[in-house]
Each structure stands twice: as C-alpha cells, then as structure tokens.
Amino acid sequence: METAIAAIPVIGAPAQRLFNLVITPPLEERLNEWRDTIADRILQLEGKVEGFKVDDLRRNSMFITVVMQATQIALRNHQKEKLEALRNAVVNAARGIDIEEDLQLLFLNLVDSFTILHLRILTYLNNPQKWLQDHGLILNLVMGAISSGLELAFPELKDQRYIYDPIVQDLYNRGLQHINKSSLHAMVGTTGMTESRTTELGKKFLRYLARD
C-alpha cells in the first residue's frame, strides 16, 4: 500500500508521509494487542483442555487459516464486541470445536460483514427470556409483538424500526433465525415473545463466537 501511494504523482510523497504518521502506528498497535491477547488465551488452553498442546497447532491447517482470516478482520475493526467474538473464534478453532471447517470460515465472513447490532440481536433472539432475566428486565405483557421484547432489551432501538427491521431481515436471509421483519411485529402471547427464534445454524454461529 505504501509503495502504491508513493507512486502517485505529485500527491504521492505527502500521502505516504500522512499514511506513515496517522495510519501505520494505530494499525501496528492493533496488531500487537491482537497477537498478545490471542497468545494469552491459547496458552491458557494447555491447563484447561485435556491433551491440548500449543506445539500441535503448527500442524493444524484449519487453525492457521482461521488465525489469518480473523487477524485480517480484526485489523479492520475497533469495536470491542466484534474483536472479542473474533478472539473466541480463534480460541475455539485452536481447541478443536466440533463445527465443520466450511462453517467456521462462513462464520468468520459473517462476523466481518455484520454490525454489532447483528450480533446483539441474534444473541437476544436465541434466548430472550434468559437475556431479559440476566439484565433484570421484565416483559409485563400478556400479548404483544416479538419486537416489544426487543425494544425492552435495547432501549436505544425503541421506535427505531428502520434500524432493526433490516437487521432482523438480514439474519433471517442468512438462515440464522426463523423470523423475518414482518413476523417480528405480529401479535403473539407471552411465550411467543420470549421463545428462541434462532435456527440450528444460528446456534452454531453463536457457539463458535462464545467464550470457552
């Protein structure tokens, strides 16, 4: 990238200086922090996972692929929740999680394309009742839409359908949950508002990104 910038006539040299001054140091800092946290987490596996040896990872082609892809995604992101999800994916790949290799690579691509709201909403819809209980919230409705619980869980989304409807639809289109943006607003009973809406694929996705 630096070579390409330097080759641009007239603006090449100043652009390269700006790149070296503003962009390179934060990227290096991101990379160093990423490598350190990944190393710490993987070293901890030797005391937690029976039979796990760090030295064996050098022969684990899938792990190397996951590390490379996750690292590229991590360098393009600054949000803590997304970085934590990527770290968890790398650690789960290292310990040999029982998820197909193709799905692991698919899941990394989804993390790259998703927003934090995608991950939060999918986590909520996986177990709304537990999510509300863990956050000290009570859904006092006999009848209502699934979106009622969603807006209770995330107050910043109240009356913001233009934000969360496309996200719910996107998760549905990707096969991660059963409801689309229309059924999100259909009237259901209390049980219907708090039951799990994720598909088997969605549950695997969340398990892959969960901390071991």
For 98-148, how does the pLDDT look when each residue is reduced to its tens digit (9 = 90+)? 999 999 999 999 999 999 999 999 999 999 999 999 999 998 888 899 999
Question: What does the pLDDT read at residue 154?
Answer: 97
How confident is the model over 50-59, as a mean pLDDT?
93
Strand stretches in 92-157, DSSP E: 143-145
Radius of gyration of the chain (CA): 21
Given a cut of 60, is residue 79 above it in pLDDT? yes
**CA separation for the pair 199, 29 (Å, rounded):** 38
6: confidence class by pLDDT, cuts 50, 70, 90: low
Question: Which tokens sit at 200?
Answer: 């088997």
Question: What does the pLDDT read at residue 10?
Answer: 47
The set of residues, in sequence order, having a beta carbon less than 8 Å from that of 138 and lying 6+ positions away, is 132
Question: Which tokens sit at 108?
Answer: 């990394």
Closest CA to 49 of 88, 86, 94: 94
**Which region among 1-5, 78-82, 115-119, 164-168 has the lowest average model confidence (pLDDT)?**
1-5
- CA diameter of the chain: 68
- Whether the CB-CB separation of 146 and 184 falls below 8 Å is answered with yes
